[in-house]
Amino acid sequence: MGTSTSTPGLPPPELRGDQRVAPGLVRYELLHVDATTGARRGRLHTPHGTIETPVFMPVGTVGSVKACAPDDLERLGAQIILGNTYHLMLRPTEALIGAMGGLHRFISWNRPMLTDSGGFQVFSLGPTRKITEEGVAFASHLDGKKHLLTPERSIEIQEVLGADVIMAFDECPPADSARPYFEASLARTTRWLERCVKAWNRQRSSLFGIVQGGLHPDLRKAHAEAICAIDLPGYALGGFSVGEAPPAMHEGVAFSAPLLPKDKPRYLMGVGTPLDLVNCVGSGIDMFDCVLPTRTARNALLYTSQGKVVIKNARYARDEGPLDPACSCYTCRNFSRAYLRHLFVAEELVALRLNTIHNLHHWLTLMQRVREAIEADRFAALQKEVRDLWRTPEKEDA
Amino acid sequence: MGTSTSTPGLPPPELRGDQRVAPGLVRYELLHVDATTGARRGRLHTPHGTIETPVFMPVGTVGSVKACAPDDLERLGAQIILGNTYHLMLRPTEALIGAMGGLHRFISWNRPMLTDSGGFQVFSLGPTRKITEEGVAFASHLDGKKHLLTPERSIEIQEVLGADVIMAFDECPPADSARPYFEASLARTTRWLERCVKAWNRQRSSLFGIVQGGLHPDLRKAHAEAICAIDLPGYALGGFSVGEAPPAMHEGVAFSAPLLPKDKPRYLMGVGTPLDLVNCVGSGIDMFDCVLPTRTARNALLYTSQGKVVIKNARYARDEGPLDPACSCYTCRNFSRAYLRHLFVAEELVALRLNTIHNLHHWLTLMQRVREAIEADRFAALQKEVRDLWRTPEKEDA
């Protein structure tokens, strides 16, 4: 720590994972397409090792996956985690992380990483941000300080952070935007991508383009054509899971995913629930990220093989059974629902870690099962099983 | 979990630790006394395994050692942890813990445990509590509900919790109490011990008596004689580290420890800093507990081989070095001071766990070194080394 002189953003060579590619571009390898759905089994080779896809990526917003240190994540089998450009540029700043050798070394995570562009988060700031052709001006939520995020600046920050995959700076227009606004926004996002590509150093990280278009099939199609006309190591779908009903989202993804190149990884940003994952894997998505498992865990909402468990509920006060009898995570192997309920109610810090470990395990083992099911051409059966469990309305814990 | 029908308070036989004694009384084995100090190397055989002494016991107030789950504690080599009767009787209540099979099973800790009597904490409640010959009436800090804690009730609660070692219900009079108050209090504590002994089921847990007397040598001597006249598996010194200057405390312990039987474990309650530990081990103390390592960790105050580090300080913002270069804990092996500072400042939950792991490791490895030094008849040298590091005023991190 702090003694090696290797390239910033990369761990010392002896700490790197399975190295199938030299530092630089990631490479997608399509292994198999499920016999009866669009589900794809593949591999993403990155400078920090190979990712088995489809994959779920836990979110490490400010330089840690909340409540879980790298030891927990490694034991959980997390293959890749996310960092958020918006949060990290403000604190501790990308300059500091760069000086510390890049994000991998700073947070002591030697497996692959992906950073977002900051776009989604600055747009979420509401009235304090202003969009122009140049970029987005906004005020920090921490100290009110003014910042300007542009395609060039986003790429610069992300390259200093040094993740394996970096994302294009785009606008995610509100789903209910008027059609003229959508059209103008999509055209600007395409111009922004061209600027990202110009700013991008291909030797360091792999830039993914982002297709927007909300729930409008014709806009999605036109934007996918524009974005995918630029040859990039991967492509993402943005603007889903931003408030629309899950069936509309699944339908939109089902229409949009096949618009992306078959020989590149397809990343659905900010998604989602277990039901979302199996539906969208079936449409050909390879990569997912979402704060849902970690955020709900910190609010006592736990996902199990029997539905949702709101562990703070009084009904669990004397429940000697494990949270999920079918789960093999550290939490379920060692603790009763009664104890987990006590820890949460008593506001013991350990509750947040144990809950987070369980939910992440639920998401990550689901994806493991997804991969195995695709390999065996029985993904449709798994999809049905998960749909039956989480059928709308989702199993609530009244 | 939840399926065995074994005795409440004991884990199923297959989960128990090194069993040198049958369920029931603990047994102290004195292995060696240091050549030039009073430091004792021994073993405490308990129903949940053998404890190498001198030992430091992390405090698990409300059923968890704050920020550390059992997996962390096991990796840290914690031999025994504490539970607090006052907190547990209020939430989740001893009745619930008893129904769940006792504290060991409830919290999934299969190594030895000790519970305090609740006395110290109810006395700390201030004006809401009232002391009579019968016991102490108090109002819960959680909901204001009235409770009465008596010697009999304290033993009853502790036996339901089922720790290996339980403590007598005593009064810890304020150190500045008038002498007549002290004398009356000590006499009452002796009567309370007699009531505890009558209530105590010797087949389940081992009751330790507590000697009070503040900083008055004659009162300590007289009370030690009264308490130790009752044959018990162990004895404790209470009423130290309650606000007096460390040198006065060390002097008081040096006077008081030899008043306790040589063939029984000697437990100094609520102590203390690394300096306190080596001073009091030198006076013949075998067991310690204190919230200091865990509480300070959650406030960014970390203890290292080079003195105190207030990790939130700006001076560490770009410090690439480990928190303590001489430390082998998970935190020091994997993270820089810069990252730990960032996590704390950004209020990331992981900061609290990483800090707590480090401080507990500091305390527990110090005790490991203490034990090795006693075995080798070089405890005085270790004592000098620790005194030199923490000489008053303690090394501050300005």
Indicate which of A342, A345, A357 best probes the interface with B, i.e. most B CBs within 10 Å of its own CB. A342
Q: Does B108 touch chain A (CB under 8 A)?
A: yes
Closest-CA residue of A relative to B100 is: A320
Q: Does A167 touch chain B (CB under 8 A)?
A: no
Secondary structure letter of residue A143 according to DSSP: T
pLDDT, mean over chain A: 93
For the segment A267-276, the average pLDDT, to the nearest whole number, is: 98
Q: Is B17 helix (H, G, I), strand (E, B) or coil?
A: coil
Q: How far apart are CA B340 and CA B348, in angstroms?
A: 10
Residues B232 and B159 in one domain: yes
Residue B394 has pLDDT above 70, yes or no: no
Strands A136-139 and A146-149: antiparallel
C-beta of residue B212 within 8 angstroms of C-beta of residue B185: yes
Residues B138 and B203 in one domain: yes
Structure tokens at A193: 């991508």
CA distances from A232 to A168, A223, B46 (A): 10, 15, 65
Q: Is B268 helix (H, G, I), strand (E, B) or coil?
A: strand
Q: How far apart are CA B285 and CA B44, in angstroms?
A: 13
For the segment B51-79, the average pLDDT, to the nearest whole number, is: 98
Range of the domain at A353: 297-390
Strand partners, B115: B83, B166
Amino acid at A140: S
- CB contact (8 A) between residue A342 and residue B63: yes
For the segment B222-231, the average pLDDT, to the nearest whole number, is: 98
Q: Does B321 touch chain A (CB under 8 A)?
A: yes
Residues B32 and B132 in one domain: yes
Residues B278 and B311 in one domain: no
Which of B6 and A153 is assigned the larger pLDDT?
Answer: A153
**Per the residue annotation, which of A34, A164, A289, A324 is the catalytic one?**
A289
Examine residue B8 and state whether it is found in any structural domain, yes or no.
no
Q: Does B74 touch chain A (CB under 8 A)?
A: no
Residue where one domain finishes, among candidates A268, A295, A322: A295
Examine residue B108 and state whether it is found in any structural domain, yes or no.
yes
C-beta of residue A366 within 8 angstroms of C-beta of residue A274: yes
pLDDT cut 70: percent of chain A above it: 92
- CB contact (8 A) between residue B66 and residue A2: no
Q: Nearest C-alpha of chain A: how many angstroms from B361? A: 17
- CB contact (8 A) between residue A91 and residue B1: no
Q: Which of B171, B24, B145, B5 is nearest to B89 (CA)?
A: B145
Secondary structure letter of residue B181 according to DSSP: H
Examine residue B48 and state whether it is found in any structural domain, yes or no.
yes
Amino acid at A337: R
Residue where one domain finishes, among candidates A295, A311, A326: A295
C-beta of residue A325 within 8 angstroms of C-beta of residue A309: no
Q: Tell me, yes or no, if B263 is annotated catalytic.
A: no
| B27 sits in which H/E element | strand B27-33
Partners of residue A99 in chain B, C-beta under 8 Å: 318
Residue A1 has pLDDT above 70, yes or no: no
C-beta of residue B18 within 8 angstroms of C-beta of residue B49: yes
Q: How far apart are CA B34 and CA B373, in angstroms?
A: 8
Encode pLDDT of A207-218 as tens digits. Answer: 999 999 999 999
Amino acid at A70: P
Domain with residue B149: its CATH number is 3.20.20.105
Encode pLDDT of B39-53 as tens digits. Answer: 999 999 999 999 999
CA distances from B27 to B47, B207, B223 (A): 10, 12, 23
Encode pLDDT of A370-386 as tens digits. Answer: 999 999 999 999 999 99
Residue B294 has pLDDT above 60, yes or no: yes
C-beta of residue B47 within 8 angstroms of C-beta of residue B6: no
pLDDT class of B393 with cuts at 50, 70, 90: low
Q: Tell me, yes or no, if A116 is annotated catalytic.
A: yes
CA distances from A141 to A87, A121, B73, B225, B317 (A): 9, 11, 37, 64, 21
pLDDT class of B2 with cuts at 50, 70, 90: very low
Q: Does B314 touch chain A (CB under 8 A)?
A: no
Contacts 24+ apart (CB under 8 A), A185-191: A185/A212, A186/A212, A186/A213, A186/A219, A186/A222, A186/A223, A186/A226, A188/A133, A189/A223, A190/A223, A190/A226, A190/A227, A191/A133
C-beta of residue A100 within 8 angstroms of C-beta of residue B339: yes
Q: Which residue has the tokens 């190498």?
A: B52
Q: Is A391 helix (H, G, I), strand (E, B) or coil?
A: coil
- CB contact (8 A) between residue B63 and residue A339: yes
User: What's the complex ipTM?
Assistant: 0.93
Indicate which of A100, A329, A344, A360 best probes the interface with B, i.e. most B CBs within 10 Å of its own CB. A100
Closest-CA residue of A relative to B331 is: A69
Give the pLDDT score at A227. 98
Q: How far apart are CA B68 and CA B79, in angstroms?
A: 14
Residues A204 and A280 in one domain: yes
Examine residue B372 and state whether it is found in any structural domain, yes or no.
yes
- Torsion from C-alpha of A6, A11, A14, A17, nearest 10 degrees: -140
Give the pLDDT score at A278. 98
Residue where one domain finishes, among candidates B245, B271, B290: B290
For the segment A280-304, the average pLDDT, to the nearest whole number, is: 98
Lowest mean pLDDT among A187-196, A263-272, B181-190, B383-392: B383-392
Residues B262 and B167 in one domain: yes
Give per-residue burial for B18-43: e unless 16+ CB within 10 Å, then b: eeebebbbbbbeeeebbeebbbbbbb
For the segment A118-143, the average pLDDT, to the nearest whole number, is: 92
Residues A272 and A325 in one domain: no
| B139 sits in which H/E element | strand B136-139
Lowest mean pLDDT among A195-204, A229-238, B125-134: B125-134
**Per the residue annotation, which of B34, B164, B286, B289 is the catalytic one?**
B289
Examine residue B186 and state whether it is found in any structural domain, yes or no.
yes
Residues A328 and A282 in one domain: no
Residue A9 has pLDDT above 70, yes or no: no
Q: Does B330 touch chain A (CB under 8 A)?
A: yes
Partners of residue A335 in chain B, C-beta under 8 Å: 1, 108
- CB contact (8 A) between residue A346 and residue B92: yes
pLDDT, mean over chain B: 93
Q: Does B92 touch chain A (CB under 8 A)?
A: yes
Residue A15 has pLDDT above 70, yes or no: no
Secondary structure letter of residue B204 according to DSSP: T
Q: How far apart are CA A382 and CA A372, in angstroms?
A: 10
Lowest mean pLDDT among A371-380, B19-28, B124-133: B19-28
- CB contact (8 A) between residue A349 and residue B350: no
Residues B160 and B236 in one domain: yes
Residues B264 and B369 in one domain: no
C-beta of residue A309 within 8 angstroms of C-beta of residue A329: no
Residues A121 and A191 in one domain: yes
Helix extents (H) in B4-102:
70-76, 85-90, 94-99
Q: Does B291 touch chain A (CB under 8 A)?
A: no
| Cα angle for residues A55, A57, A63 (degrees, 5° grid) | 160
Give the pLDDT score at B333. 98
C-beta of residue B241 within 8 angstroms of C-beta of residue B249: yes
Q: How far apart are CA B160 and CA B154, in angstroms?
A: 10
Residue A398 has pLDDT above 80, yes or no: no
Strands A113-115 and A81-83: parallel
CB pairs under 8 A between A and B: 132
Residue B274 has pLDDT above 60, yes or no: yes
Examine residue B4 and state whether it is found in any structural domain, yes or no.
no
Structure tokens at B367: 């005790």
For the segment A270-282, the average pLDDT, to the nearest whole number, is: 98
pLDDT class of A392 with cuts at 50, 70, 90: low
Q: Is B46 helix (H, G, I), strand (E, B) or coil?
A: strand
Tell me the pTM. 0.93
Q: How far apart are CA B272 and CA A25, in angstroms?
A: 54
Give the pLDDT score at B128. 83
Give the pLDDT score at A127. 82
- CB contact (8 A) between residue A108 and residue B339: yes
Residues A87 and A207 in one domain: yes
pLDDT cut 90: percent of chain A above it: 89
Q: How far apart are CA A297 and CA A283, in angstroms?
A: 28
Give the pLDDT score at B313. 98
Helix extents (H) in chain A:
70-76, 85-90, 94-99, 103-107, 119-123, 151-161, 179-199, 217-228, 246-256, 274-281, 292-298, 330-334, 337-345, 349-375, 379-390
Lowest mean pLDDT among A170-179, A180-189, B9-18, B55-64: B9-18
Give the pLDDT score at A393. 56
Give the pLDDT score at B135. 97
Examine residue A12 and state whether it is found in any structural domain, yes or no.
no
Give the pLDDT score at B382. 98
Encode pLDDT of B194-203 as tens digits. Answer: 999 999 999 8
Q: How far apart are CA A370 and CA B44, in angstroms?
A: 51
Examine residue B398 and state whether it is found in any structural domain, yes or no.
no
Q: Does B68 touch chain A (CB under 8 A)?
A: yes
How many residues appear in chain A? Answer: 398
Region for B160 from its dihedrals, namely left if φ exceeds 0, alpha if ψ lies in -120 to 50, beta otherwise: alpha
Say how many domains are in chain A. Answer: 2
For the segment A38-65, the average pLDDT, to the nearest whole number, is: 97
